[in-house]
Amino acid sequence: MKGSILITGATGTVGRAASEYLSDRGYRVLGTGRSIEQDELFDRVEALDLLEQEDVETLEQLIEEEDVDVIMHLAWNVSEENFDTGRKWQGNMEMFENVLEIARETETEAFINGSSVHAGTGDIPAYTAEASLENTPEPYRSSIDPEKDYDMRKQDPEKLLDPRIEKPDSPYGESKIETENRTREAVVSGDLQIGLSLRIGGVNPKDEKEIEGEPYYSSLYYSHADLGRTIARVIDADPEKRQGYYQMYGISDNPGRVFNIENPFVGR
């Protein structure tokens, strides 16, 4: 029998894409959200507000009852805090800390932290809300520009963005770095066996490589298959052989890619 995973914020675009991939392949998927209803993607759902103590306690009970192997934390109030809001919202960090503490208390084998590319794109104005390609330094500008033939992944791979570098492009990026650091600390302290901070790029409901009105989206695109494959490998990982903390970009191997996408879980 395949392993089980609980996804918070499961009704969001990333949560649904991951759930569909996993459920289609026989994994047991549990989903939570502030407003969530049962559908074929999930084996079980719970409508929970992760800022309410009673609901936090219900989540812990759910994880213990269902013998969850992996928690993937995606719950985030994007209307209050995203890369283009220019502000932080403390509730997001409170939700994160609540779920991380549950992972510790229940001795869940692996914790996947849904981070963001915006934790490391501080030198790339093309990826900000203003999408300023002209202010983006070379060689990133030429690689991102769809009108150029330059491809950094092939011509200058040593310059690809390192997923361990902390260069937030917004307050939202700063918050995601904080979640990365907290996940790492939990692994180093021995509270978690496997911790993965996945700096997620462009995931969209229709799984399209290009989005109208977003000229540089294709270099950020993260396919549903690549997303799901990484999560599946974390579920299947032997904690004794693959224990530790990992941090990586969740980006597909796109033309114009400026991110290092080495992935210890899928062997690339």
pLDDT at 194: 96
The fraction of the chain above a pLDDT of 90, given in percent, is 88
User: In the predicted model, what is the mean pLDDT of the chain?
Assistant: 94
Band the pLDDT of 239: cuts 50, 70, 90.
confident
- Residue 118 binned pLDDT confidence (cut-offs 50, 70, 90): very high
Indicate the DSSP class of residue 43: S
The model's confidence at residue 130, banded by pLDDT at 50, 70 and 90, is confident
For residue 213, the model assigns a pLDDT of 86
Q: What is the pLDDT of residue 204?
A: 97
Separation of alpha carbons 191 and 188, rounded Å: 8
Which residues face 115 on adjacent strands?
199
How confident is residue 39, by pLDDT bands cut at 50, 70 and 90? confident
Band (1; pLDDT cuts 50, 70, 90): very low
Task: Report the pLDDT averaged over residues 231-239.
Answer: 92
The residue-averaged pLDDT of 56-71 equals 96
pLDDT for the residue numbered 2: 67
pLDDT class of 268 with cuts at 50, 70, 90: low
Peptide bond between residue 264 and the one before it cis (omega within 30 degrees of 0): no
Length of the chain: 268
Residue ranges and CATH numbers for the domains of the chain are 4-121+161-250 (3.40.50.720)
Tell me phi and psi for residue 21, to 5 degrees: -60, -50
User: What confidence score (pLDDT) does residue 241 get?
Assistant: 81
Which residues 6+ apart lie within 8 Å of 93 measured at CB?
A: 175, 178, 179
pLDDT at residue 231 is higher than 60:
yes
Is the C-alpha dihedral spanning 264, 206, 45, 26 positive or negative? negative
Whether residue 129 has pLDDT greater than 90: no
What average pLDDT does range 159-188 have in this prediction? 97
Q: What is the mean pLDDT of residues 207-229?
A: 94
HSE of 194, CA atoms in CB hemisphere, 13 A: 25
Cα–Cα distance for residue pair 73/47, rounded to 1 Å: 15
pTM of the model: 0.95
What is the per-residue pLDDT across 240-266, written as a single tens digit (0 to 9) for each? 888 999 999 999 999 999 999 998 887
Q: Where are the alpha helices (DSSP H) in the chain?
A: 13-24, 53-66, 90-105, 140-144, 152-155, 171-188, 224-236, 239-242
Residue 6 pLDDT: 98
pLDDT higher at 121 or 146: 121
